[in-house]
Amino acid sequence: MDNFTFAVPCLFGVEGLAADELKRLKMTNVRAENGRVLFDGSAADLARANVNIATGERVTILVGEGRADTFDMLFELVRAMSWELYLPRSAKFPVTGHALSSALHSVPDCQRIIKKAISMRLTDAYKVNIHPEDGAEYKIRFTILNDRASIAIDTSGAGLHKRGYRPAAVKDGVAAVAAPLSETLAAAMVRVARFRGREAMRDSFCGSGTLVIEAALAALNRAPGINRKFTAQNWTNLPESIWREAREEAKSREFSGDYDIWGGDVDPACVEVANENARRAGVSKNVRFEVADARKFEPSAPSGVIITNPPYGERVMERADAERLYREFGAATRELRGWNIYLLSSHTEFERTFGRTATKKRKLYNGMLKCDLFMYLGK
């Protein structure tokens, strides 16, 4: 395994940010498409991307693509791919994926066809009657969109948003923090704000602390995957040294310093969870969390950036309560000078209730929920 085409799935609206990350890693032939970023590289680049990328959802090896509007076409497309170059004789290869706006809409049937096609290719290539599947796992991921199939091998395992510092959103059957923001989306917001630790950062609705922690990781230039494991580490056809070298390289690029990064929440339980998550992330010395009411927000610094994710009024609070909160937070921040404000919301009347028209807006998706990042550039 040497030269690959990689596909990094992303939340919609984040593709350009993920592409910029990969370009800074000096990856080759980086190109952004809807919902993903492609690049070319080696096994070492596979490890470097997994360890370093903050805004992508996972790193996959793109094995092949093509039109597939019948099961026969899908079977022949997959069987023609050179699976023996990627999967060793004993590889275990579960198949998962999704189909949208396509003639082939039954995911279980697509899984079965893809599995059969790969099995036949491997038994022919290795000259065996049955492929044993008693070795390391190589999870196959497929996407069929508008009758075009894309087949890839997942190298990450758990999604890259699972940094390891927020291990459980549910405790004793109850959500520890309502509607937490994903780590990759929080990292994207921090990068849109161009925060690198040179100024003060505030999050007035910190919840589980994700935005504050991702801001600290950005300030420290710490690779988000430096301490976690990846599925491809178990593959026998990849040298272990690529992972060690990727982590050593990432560690050598880290910064140190004193940062003014603060998060507040009206709920003491959220502040407790945020402090624990910061400890797990290794940034507890770089951030502060306090019980604070956003409606009485005082930045305690002459300038900086506010990056926050107030309740939307859909899953967390009633709409009227959310609008009242927007109005009062808008009043509390209206006279701030020297501050740029970035607020994520799915509320269609956010600007009206906040009391100001945004300087700029950017569409982002929190899971499947379409949102806008409202930017108020006061500096």
- Residues with Cβ within 8 Å of 32's Cβ and at least 6 positions away in sequence, in order, are 15, 16, 18, 19
Centre a 10 Å sphere on the Cβ of residue 335 and count the other Cβ atoms it contains: 7
- Residue 1 pLDDT grade (very low, low, confident, very high; cuts 50, 70, 90): low
Q: Are 178 and 242 in contact (CB under 8 A)?
A: no
Q: What is the pLDDT of residue 48?
A: 98
Q: What is the pLDDT of residue 173?
A: 45
Backbone torsions φ then ψ of 323, nearest 5 degrees: -65, -40
Task: Give mean pLDDT, residues 136-164.
Answer: 97
Residue 116 in tokens? 């059969």
Tokens 């990856």, located at residue? 27
Residue 59: C-alpha distances to residues 7, 22, 38, 277, 332 (Å):
6, 11, 10, 25, 42
pLDDT in tens, 225-271: 999 999 999 999 999 999 999 999 999 999 998 999 999 999 999 99
- Residues with Cβ within 8 Å of 248's Cβ and at least 6 positions away in sequence, in order, are none
Q: Are 301 and 338 in contact (CB under 8 A)?
A: no
> What domains can be seen in the chain, in order of their start residue?
4-154 (3.30.2130.30), 170-221+255-377 (3.40.50.150)
| pLDDT for residue 104 is more than 50 | yes
Complete edge-to-edge strand list for the sheet that includes strand 148-154: 28-33, 36-41, 4-9, 60-67, 148-154, 140-145, 95-100
| pLDDT for residue 178 is more than 60 | no
- Residue 83 pLDDT grade (very low, low, confident, very high; cuts 50, 70, 90): very high
Residue 375 in tokens? 């930017």
Runs of H (alpha helix) within the chain: 15-24, 43-52, 71-79, 107-126, 183-192, 210-220, 241-252, 268-281, 319-333, 350-354
pLDDT in tens, 106-128: 999 999 999 999 999 999 999 99
pTM exceeding 0.85: yes
